[in-house]
Structure 1
Amino acid sequence: MTVNPRFEGASPISRLPDDRQFLEDVWDGLAATPKALPAKYFYDAAGSELFEGITGLAEYYPTRTELRILDEHGPAIAAALPSGAALVEFGAGSTVKVRRLLRHLRDLTAYVPVDVSGEFLTAQAEGLRRDIPDLAVEPVVADFTRPFALPATVGNAPRAGFFPGSTIGNFRPEEAIRLLDTFGAILGEGSQLIVGVDLVKDTDVLEAAYDDASGVTAAFNLNLLTRINRELAGGFADDSFHHRAFFNAAASRIEMHLVSREAQEIDIAGRRFDFAAGESIHTENSYKYSIASFRDLAAQAGWAAGEVWTDPDGLFSVHALRRRPV
Structure 2
Amino acid sequence: MSAEPLEIHLEEQDLARGLREDVRVGLTAEPKWLPPKWFYDARGSELFEEITRLPEYYPTRAERVVLAARAPAIAELTAAKTLIELGSGSSEKTRLLLDALTDRGGLGTFVPLDVSASALRGSTARIASDYPGLRVRGIVGDFTRHLDRLPAGGRRLVLFLGGTIGNLLPAERAAFLAGMRAALESGDWLLIGTDLVKDPSIIVPAYDDAAGVTAEFNRNVLRVINRELGADFDPSAFTHVVRWDATHEWIEMRLRADRPMRVRIPDLDLEVAFAEGEELRTEVSAKFRREGLAAELSAAGFAGRTFWTDPDELFGVTLARAV
- TM-score for both structures, normalised by structure 2: 0.90
C-alpha distance in 2 between matches for 1:42 and 1:65:
23
Deviation of 1:54 after TM superposition, in Å, equals 0.9
Task: Report if the CA contact (8 A) 1:295-1:305 is conserved.
Answer: no
- Tell me which residue corresponds to 1:254: 251
Equivalent AA in structure 1 for residue 270 of structure 2: R
DSSP 3-state at the match of 1:319: strand
Question: Where has structure 1 moved over 6 Å in runs of 4 or more?
Answer: none
Pick from 176, 198, 202 the counterpart of residue 201 of structure 1. Answer: 198
Equivalent AA in structure 2 for residue 290 of structure 1: R
Task: Report if the CA contact (8 A) 2:193-2:315 is conserved.
Answer: yes
Question: Cα distance 1:148–1:313, how it changes in 2: closer, same or farther (>3 A)?
Answer: closer
Equivalent AA in structure 2 for residue 49 of structure 1: E
C-alpha distance in 2 between matches for 1:207 and 1:272:
33
Task: Report if the CA contact (8 A) 1:17-1:231 is conserved.
Answer: no
- Tell me which residue corresponds to 1:110: 109
C-alpha distance in 1 between matches for 2:113 and 2:17:
21
Task: Report if the CA contact (8 A) 2:79-2:101 is conserved.
Answer: no
- Tell me which residue corresponds to 1:276: 275
Deviation of 1:179 after TM superposition, in Å, equals 0.8
Q: Report Cα offsets for 1:38-81 as digits up to 9, x if no partner.
A: 11222222212211111111100000011001111111122232
Equivalent positions of 1:1-326 (< 5 A) are 19-84=16-81, 86-106=82-102, 107-150=106-149, 154=151, 156-268=153-265, 269=267, 270-324=269-323
C-alpha distance in 1 between matches for 2:309 and 2:169:
23
Task: Report if the CA contact (8 A) 2:56-2:205 is conserved.
Answer: yes
DSSP 3-state at the match of 2:236: coil
Deviation of 1:187 after TM superposition, in Å, equals 2.8
Q: Report Cα offsets for 1:250-302 as digits up to 9, x if no partner.
A: 11001101111111111112211111111111111111111111111111222
Identity score, percent: 42
- Structure 2 unaligned segments of length 5 or more: list them: 1-12
- Structure 1 unaligned segments of length 5 or more: list them: 1-15
Equivalent AA in structure 1 for residue 22 of structure 2: D
C-alpha distance in 1 between matches for 2:110 and 2:292:
30
Equivalent AA in structure 1 for residue 129 of structure 2: R
Question: Cα distance 1:244–1:236, how it changes in 2: closer, same or farther (>3 A)?
Answer: same
DSSP 3-state at the match of 1:103: helix
Task: Report if the CA contact (8 A) 1:173-1:297 is conserved.
Answer: no
C-alpha distance in 2 between matches for 1:300 and 1:59:
34
C-alpha distance in 2 between matches for 1:246 and 1:208:
10
Deviation of 1:135 after TM superposition, in Å, equals 1.5
Deviates more, 1:178-187 or 1:276-285: 178-187
C-alpha distance in 1 between matches for 2:231 and 2:197:
37
Question: Cα distance 1:102–1:217, how it changes in 2: closer, same or farther (>3 A)?
Answer: same
Deviation of 1:148 after TM superposition, in Å, equals 4.3
Task: Report if the CA contact (8 A) 2:222-2:233 is conserved.
Answer: yes
Deviation of 1:127 after TM superposition, in Å, equals 1.5
DSSP 3-state at the match of 2:60: helix
DSSP 3-state at the match of 2:136: coil
RMSD across aligned positions (CA): 1.7
Task: Report if the CA contact (8 A) 1:65-1:316 is conserved.
Answer: yes
Question: Cα distance 1:173–1:96, how it changes in 2: closer, same or farther (>3 A)?
Answer: same
Q: Report Cα offsets for 1:182-224 as digits up to 9, x if no partner.
A: 1222233331000001111111110000011111111111111
Equivalent AA in structure 2 for residue 245 of structure 1: V
Task: Report if the CA contact (8 A) 2:80-2:157 is conserved.
Answer: no
Deviates more, 1:180-189 or 1:99-108: 180-189
Task: Report if the CA contact (8 A) 2:294-2:305 is conserved.
Answer: no
Task: Report if the CA contact (8 A) 2:147-2:179 is conserved.
Answer: no
